[in-house]
Structure formats: C-alpha cells, structure tokens
Amino acid sequence: MDSCRNGCLILALVALLCLSVSASPNVLSEADKKFGTELLIKSEGSVSTLEEKYQLLRSFQVLGIRREELITCSEVEAVLMSSTSVKDLFYASKCGETLLCSFQESALKTTVSRLLSSLDNTEALLDIHFSLGTLAFLKVQFPVALNDPVSIFQKIKVLSAEDGSWKYNPDDAGTSAKAAGTALETMGDLISLAGQAFDDAKIRYLKGVASKLFEFLEKYADDGTQFIDERPLDGLYGGGGPLAATSQVVKGVAVVASHTSGHIEVPAERVISVAKFFLTAGIHGSLLDMFHVLDGLGVLDKNRFLVPVILSVRPSVLSLSAKEVFKISTTTVLGSPVSATITLRKAVRANEKEPFLLNQVLESDETKGVHNLNDILNKLDIGSYDLTFKVKILEEGRYATEPITIRRVLVTGVASIPEVEVGVLDSDTGSTDYVKRWNPMSKEVVSLYATHLQKLYFGLDILSPRQEQFIPHQAFLKLKHETKVEHLFLLKPSGKKLELSLNLLGLVEKLNYLSGIYTIDLIVGDVAMENPVMWNLGTVELDLPEPPEGKVKLTSQAESPFKYGPRPEITHMFRPAEKRAPPTLSNTFLALTLVPLLGFLVGLKLLNTNMKNFPSSGLPVLAALLFHLGIGSILGLYALFWLKLNLFQTLKLLALLGTVLTVPGYYILSHLADASAPKVKSA
C-alpha cells in the first residue's frame, strides 16, 4: 500500500508538471530533433511502399539529416521508367527530389509521354496532382511541355466550391479544405510547368483561394492554437486527420506563393496559430503523424508568404537549487534565430493580480537570437509565474509573430519544514494534554497515547528557498494500524500553517473501533518541490471503545469497506447431476421409437407404391425434386434438433425451409391435379 501511495503522489506531481509545461509550446530544440531522429530510425524497417519511404525521407530532411539507405537514385529511376501508376511515379519523384537525384531525358521520354496522356484522360484531382507533381520534378532535369495547360486549369477549377473548398472528383457529394490544399499545390506545379498560360486574373483567383483557406481554421486551445479539421470526404481519399488536413493546406498556400509574385493576404495571427498546433502536437506517435507535423513545420519554416516566429522560454521548468537562468529566444519553428527586441511587460505569480516586475527590456545576443532574463531571478520563489512579453521583429514584412506573448513557467526548489507540532488535546476544552515539536533533522520519533475522548493535533510550517511561507498542493497524514488498516487525512491551510485536528470520538467508526498502536506518516508534495517528503513521525496508541451490539469490528485491510484489497473467494455449489436410466433401457426405448418408421416402410410395400406419377420432364421434374429435397431437409433438421440445435435455432431454420418448400410444393401439386383431371372426366 505504501508503494501505491507513493506512486499516486508521483503521478499527481508529474501530471501537474505536464500541465504547466504544455501550456507554452516551444520550438523544436536539439533534444527534440534527436528524439525524433531516433524514432524515425527505428521505424525504417517497417516501411515498404514508396509513399512511406518518401514520408520518412522528408521527415529526415526537415530534421536536417540525409538518409540514402531507404532508396537510391537508381531505384527511383527504375520506378520512373517502369511503373504505370501515377501515384507511384509521384512518390518516386518526391524521393528523387529529396535525394537530389538527376536523370537523363532519353531514359524518361516514355514516362513523360505517359503522364501527358494521363492528363488528357482524367478529371480526378489526385490523378492530376500526381501527374503534374511528377512532371514538375522532371522539368527541373529537362524541358517538359504540356499539351493544353488551360484545359488542365479548368479541370481543376471546376471541382472548386464558392467557399474555397474543393472536391476530389466531379461526382463527390461534399468538399473539403484539405482537397483545396491539394488543388493549390497542383496549381502551383501547373504554374511551374506552364507559367505563360496564367494571366493576372488566374493568379488573383489562386491568391484569393489561398487567403480564404485560413478561414476554415477551428479553435484547438485557449492560447490561440487553431487547426483545420478533416471532413468525411477526406476519409474516402486517405484521411490522416487534422494534422494531414492542416499540413496540406499550408503546403498548398506555400507552393502557390513560391510560384507567384506579390503577397498573399494571410493574417499573421492565423499563421502563428497553425504553427502552435504543430508544435503542440509534437514529433511523437505514428510515422504518418510525425510526417505531417514535420512537413508542416518544414513548410512554415521556409515559405514566401509569412514565416512564423515563436518566442520560447527555456527552461520552462527552472530549478533554483541548480542555479539555472532563463533564456528567451525568438526563432522560426525549427530553431533558426530571428533578430527581435523583447520587453518583459510584466511578471506576475500565477493566481495573483499584482505584478512584481514591469517593463524590463531584455539583454540580447543578436547573433544567436537569445535574450537573457537575469534581473528577475532574485525575485523568483518556487511556484508558477506568468510572464508577458512584447516582441518586435527587426526585419518586418517577412515574419509573423504575436506582439504580446504570455508564457507560464514553473520555478522549483527545495522547501524546508523546520518542525512538526504533534499534540494530544482535550475534546471538550481544547486544552493541551501533551505536545511535542518533532524535528526532522533528528532521528527521534514521538510516542503518543490517546483515548476516544481526546483529539490528535498536527501542525507544520513549510518554507520556500526564500524563507517564505509555502502551501503545497498535497499534504496528508496517514495512520496505519498494526493490522495493516490505513487511513488518510488531509492537512488544510490555517493562516500560513498546515493543520489537522482529529476528533477521535467522531472517528471511532471510521477507525473500525480498532484500539492499538498506529504508525504516523506525514506525506507532503508539490509540483514545485524538489524534495517531496514521506516521514515517519512515530506512533500513537489509541484506546477506543468496543463496537455497539451487532456491529462487527474489522481487523484487517481486506475486511475494510473503505480500502481496496483482495476479497474472499466466492465458491459456487452446483446441483449434482440427475440419475440416468440404465443404457439397456435407453437403447430399448430407442429401438421402439424406430418401429413406426419401419411400419411406414412396410405399409408402402403392401400398398404397392410406385413412381409412375413422378414427372418426367420440364419444370415439374425440378419442382418435384426440390419438394422431396425440402422434405428430406426438414427431416434432417429434426435430427439436428435432437443432436445439437436448440428450439429457437430449429424454429428459425424450419420457418425458412417451410417457406422455400411452399413454392415447389404448390407447383407440383397443381401439376398432379391438372394431370389427373382428364382421367376423372373419362371415368
């Protein structure tokens, strides 16, 4: 039970720590990138398709790592020369683009011709996307000329809706923002292949769609994080969830921006909100999720519409005992430094209103994009703080950032408990019968005695590293009887102290009327405490009254209704099997049941039954066969009922067979009636 208590305490502290840290998404650190690289390397053996290999290569590329073990340029060329799947050709070209492969025009002439032909014969967005994406890659190697780029533009445009969303196919019932992102990426590839076919009107149209796509953002968290959700239509074409949809939209807008001049009107706060979404998701989970996060971050880190700049506070958990200092940085989402002026507008302790520091301009190292927050350290104590920063980017126009950024940080340190006051009080007057000040530095333990007419008192002060009064999140007192029965009591703040007064008269039932010796343990913990404690203070002997008549005294942890533990084993007594008849009698009865069947067969013989009226040709033969087969099936069903089936199963099958038997039965009886009619008339 002690280990369970300690485990629960640790879990609670970790949960609180995670809440404090996750509230402020930071850019990818070197440790994050290393962790992501290790996860990707472990997943290399599980990838098999070209799409998965590209996802892995792209993820490595964003992390700044070149991996050629997955696929080589010669393998890419072999796929481009032989494959007839536009999807495989697309992902092979993406692998080649990531690996910086180069190819000869003569080797891929047939592939180019096949792709150009596929563009003329399809209206599906993804097929056009795959074909144009592959041709755009090959155009970097050698000239590629489209047959009719305007017609291709119209094929893509006709799939659009008024709100800026898109269809994947002309017969789709719905639209989605993810499909619109795919359409924009496809349009960007079309511009790179045939820019002369795009006049100003078409370019303005594409920029308008790109701007409108960010209106599909939905709220993810209260800190302004937003994402684009997946629609039911997306599930029919690969899915991927919100990460895939958001990443695809960002990629589509970035591709259009890279192939057009001028500026795309995208609100800076929405670009920041999307960056926060990817950073909050993090690089963990499945390979597909990691790819969408890293691909989205890679596009945001280098694009021509707006590059988000994130203010990061490291460490987000600062240790006073380790003498750490805050480093404030302004970087892109992948960590490239961006020069900026940062002012600490205010610093306030969490859940308080009055700031203790205002308008502090931070010292900066322009070359590294790092700002020091040294002046605040002498004013910090353990606990959570909200720091409000004002950020001004020195290079305006290209970057997007939050002008006012709030970051929550946690400051930890070693708390001290000078002494614990332990006493026995009179229940009526409250006067002190016994008091002991227990010093944690000594190995001395207290030994108390109390009856049910007295109270137990516990009080303690907890001091922070700055010698200020500190109230922790968790403070418990545990009484454990010698029979292993445990009870937890919560110490509550009273002024600047933590106190607990146990009125034993009101607790005799909860204590199960168990007299005897109880060990006293003090448990104190907080997310900001680097030294949570679980101390044994000593023992107390309780003299409690006997339970009233009819009340059972519980003497073990397993018997306590208030605690978890093993319960007594439940044993079931089944009714003994009924006595059966002797086998000889049973077999004799079975033989007697077969006598009517034997009599039936003998009667058929005596009546000279024959098959003269059995039909000889046409549908009557088929009806007669089905009728007799149905009769035989019903007899077989009766046998199965005797051997295996229950009544309900038998009735269901009998209803089915009876219904089927009705049709051939009716037909064959009608046939026999028609055949015998002339004989009756002649008679």
CATH number at residue 184: 1.50.10
Quick check: 251 and 213 in contact, CB under 8 A? no
Q: Are residues 198 and 297 in the same domain?
A: yes
Q: Are residues 75 and 130 in the same domain?
A: yes
Q: Are residues 206 and 273 in the same domain?
A: yes
**CA distance readout (Å), 619 to 302, 434, 667, 674:** 78, 109, 9, 14
Angle at 266 between CA 262 and CA 269, to 5 degrees: 140
Q: Are residues 479 and 535 in the same domain?
A: yes
Residue 35 maps to a domain: no
Quick check: 209 and 156 in contact, CB under 8 A? no
Of 543, 566, 597, the position where a domain reaches its end is: 543
Quick check: 535 and 522 in contact, CB under 8 A? yes
Q: Are residues 89 and 212 in the same domain?
A: yes
Of 543, 563, 589, the position where a domain reaches its end is: 543
User: Tokens 């209106």 identify what position?
Assistant: 215
Residue 58 has pLDDT above 90, yes or no: yes
Average pLDDT over residues 195-216: 87
Residue 604 maps to a domain: no
Q: Are residues 114 and 251 in the same domain?
A: yes
- 422 bridge partner residues: 436, 458
Residue 558 maps to a domain: no
Q: Are residues 145 and 216 in the same domain?
A: yes
User: Tokens 């332990």 identify what position?
Assistant: 422
Average pLDDT over residues 195-215: 87
Residue 152 maps to a domain: yes
Please give the structure tokens belonging to residue 425.
Answer: 């009080």
Residue 81 maps to a domain: yes
Task: Give the separation between CA 414 and CA 529, rounded to whole angstroms.
Answer: 6
Q: Which of 102, 202, 97 is nearest to 156 (CA)?
A: 202
Q: Are residues 319 and 226 in the same domain?
A: no
Give pLDDT tens digits for 493-503: 988 889 999 99
Tell me the helix, strand and coil percentages in the chain, rounded to 5: 45, 20, 35
Q: What are phi and psi of 346, to 5 degrees?
A: -160, 150
Residue 10 has pLDDT above 60, yes or no: no
Of 527, 543, 559, the position where a domain reaches its end is: 543
Q: Which of 196, 189, 164 is nearest to 251 (CA)?
A: 189
- DSSP H or E stretch at residue 184: helix 177-193
Cβ-Cβ contacts under 8 Å for 511 (sequence gap 6 or more): 479, 481, 487, 504, 542, 544
**CA distance readout (Å), 657 to 650, 651, 663, 669:** 10, 10, 11, 18
Q: Are residues 388 and 456 in the same domain?
A: no
Q: pLDDT averaged over the chain?
A: 86
The domain total for the chain is: 4
Burial of 17 (0-12, 13-18, 19+ CB in 10 A): middle
- pLDDT recorded at residue 602: 86
- pLDDT recorded at residue 18: 40
Q: Residue 618: which pLDDT band, with cuts at 50, 70 and 90?
A: confident
- pLDDT recorded at residue 487: 92
- DSSP H or E stretch at residue 588: helix 583-593
Quick check: 329 and 369 in contact, CB under 8 A? yes
Residue 6 has pLDDT above 70, yes or no: no
The DSSP secondary structure of 412-466, one letter per residue, reads EB--B---EEEEEEETTT--EEEEEEE-TTS---EEEEEETTEEEEEEE--B-TT
The answer to which of 54-68, 129-143, 598-612 has the lowest mean pLDDT is 598-612
Percent of the chain with pLDDT over 70: 92
Give pLDDT tens digits for 279-326: 988 887 788 899 999 999 999 998 988 899 999 888 889 999 888 888
Q: Which of 483, 468, 536 is nearest to 513 (CA)?
A: 483
Query: Which ranges constitute the DSSP H helices of 227-318?
Result: 232-235, 241-258, 268-281, 287-301
Q: Which of 190, 76, 91, 94 is nearest to 137 (CA)?
A: 94
Owning domain of residue 286? 2-6+46-302
Residue 14 has pLDDT above 70, yes or no: no
Residue 244 maps to a domain: yes
Rg (the chain; Cα; Å): 41
Per-residue b or e along 365-391, where b marks 16 or more CB atoms closer than 10 Å to that residue's CB: eeeebbbebeebeeebbbbbbbbbbbb
Average pLDDT over residues 19-39: 73
Q: Which of 2-6, 164-168, 338-342, 433-437 has the highest mean pLDDT?
A: 164-168
Task: Give the separation between CA 271 and CA 267, rounded to whole angstroms.
Answer: 7
Per-residue b or e along 93-117, where b marks 16 or more CB atoms closer than 10 Å to that residue's CB: bbbbbbbebebeeeebeebbebbbe
Average pLDDT over residues 628-648: 89
**CA distance readout (Å), 142 to 129, 133, 145, 183:** 20, 15, 10, 25
Q: Are residues 452 and 355 in the same domain?
A: no
> CATH no. for residue 492?
2.60.40
Task: Give the separation between CA 303 and CA 393, rounded to whole angstroms.
Answer: 17
| Residue ranges with strand state E in 259-379 | 307-308, 310-314, 317-319, 326-331, 340-349, 357-361, 363-365, 370-373
Residue 592 maps to a domain: no
Q: What does DSSP say about strands 363-365 and 317-319: parallel, antiparallel, or unpaired?
A: unpaired
Assessment of whether the complete model's pTM goes beyond 0.95: no
Q: Which residue has the higher pLDDT, 521 or 556?
A: 521
> CATH no. for residue 360?
2.60.40.1080
Q: Are residues 520 and 628 in the same domain?
A: no
Q: Which of 501, 55, 451, 367 is nearest to 240 (CA)?
A: 55
Task: Give the separation between CA 57 and CA 40, rounded to whole angstroms.
Answer: 9
- pLDDT recorded at residue 563: 52
Please give the structure tokens belonging to residue 479.
Answer: 């009484």
Give pLDDT tens digits for 247-287: 999 999 999 999 888 788 888 899 999 999 999 888 877 88
The answer to which of 6-20, 47-61, 484-498, 511-525 has the lowest mean pLDDT is 6-20
Please give the structure tokens belonging to residue 363.
Answer: 């010292």
SS3 call for 585? helix
Task: Give the separation between CA 443 and CA 394, rounded to whole angstroms.
Answer: 61
Residue 573 has pLDDT above 90, yes or no: no
SS3 call for 268? helix
Cβ-Cβ contacts under 8 Å for 545 (sequence gap 6 or more): 452, 508, 513
Q: Which of 305, 303, 355 is nearest to 334 (CA)?
A: 303
- pLDDT recorded at residue 296: 94
Residue 11 maps to a domain: no
Percent of the chain with pLDDT over 90: 37
Q: Are residues 205 and 91 in the same domain?
A: yes
- pLDDT recorded at residue 366: 61
Task: Give the separation between CA 665 and CA 301, rounded to whole angstroms.
Answer: 79
Residue 23 has pLDDT above 70, yes or no: no
Residue 17 has pLDDT above 70, yes or no: no
